Amino acid sequence: PEIDYFKGLIVRSGEPALDVGCGTGRLLIPFLRAGLDVDGCDISPDMLALCAQRAEAEGLRPQLFAQAMHQLSLPRCYRSIVVCGAFGIGGSLAQDQEALHRLFRHLAPGGAVFIDYYVPYKDADEWRYWVKEEGEKLPEPWPSSGQRKITRSGEEIELRIRLLALDPLEQVATRQMQAILWRGGQAVQQEEHTLLERLYFRNELLAMLAAAGFRDVEVRDGYTDNRASSRSGILVYIARKE
């Protein structure tokens, strides 16, 4: 649902638009298909290369930039900036605050940034690890199986994820990801990566947006036009530059 939702926000707020953390183009390519003027940026050159291949296959040629969010320095300003599933991933508190400053600088006057964010208590199973006694039981065991996808060559890639640690004082979750390549029913290659996720509550993020210069911030319930409530698990922040 986030693809059509953010597309509608771009239409209302205006173009050009920027998809921050665009990855392989999960949102960016549908935006381009709809005829929107949207650039993309991501920290991963590999993902951007795949995004460019997918776009070119459809006759699309977006401007793509390999930059971290907190180092954003692009040649033009935007009426709309989308950050979907990317804020708080892999950085420090200082980098996240700097990222909001950079987003503000890249907005044209009257423009808006749209950020979705899962509240830390959305997952009841994970929320229990904020309590000392439960947190000491980490890391979680690896799941017996994970999500699998079939490649063009007919091989399978399986992704398993577990919570390695959770620091409630620093509000940081450490996740471990295991990617397994299967060929003919045999695991032939495996990689493991660790990723930090900074955890923010609503009022913290509102304060960070205000410190970056944003005003008139709305907080919505997921991918709807409803105001967020205490029952909302996904928040969408709509922050404007006056």
pLDDT digits (tens, 9 = 90+) for 163-213: 999 999 999 999 999 999 999 989 999 999 999 999 999 999 999 999 999
Report which of 117, 120, 118, 110 is spatially closest to residue 237, judged by C-alpha positions. Answer: 117
pLDDT at 220: 98
Residues with Cβ within 8 Å of residue 199, at least 6 apart in sequence: 88, 120, 171, 172, 173
pLDDT at 153: 87
Report the alpha-carbon distance of residue 222 to residue 227 in Å, rounded. Answer: 9
pLDDT digits (tens, 9 = 90+) for 110-155: 999 999 999 999 999 999 999 999 999 999 999 999 999 998 889 9
E strands along the chain, which residues? 17-20, 38-42, 64-66, 78-83, 107-118, 147-150, 156-167, 172-183, 186-198, 215-221, 234-240
Report the alpha-carbon distance of residue 166 to residue 176 in Å, rounded. Answer: 12
Residue 26, token pair as written in the block: 């999960």
pTM across the whole model: 0.94
Report the alpha-carbon distance of residue 110 to residue 103 in Å, rounded. Answer: 13
When pLDDT is cut at 50, 70 and 90, the band that residue 216 belongs to is confident
Q: How many CB atoms lie within 10 A of CB 7?
A: 19
**Residues facing 161 on adjacent strands:** 177
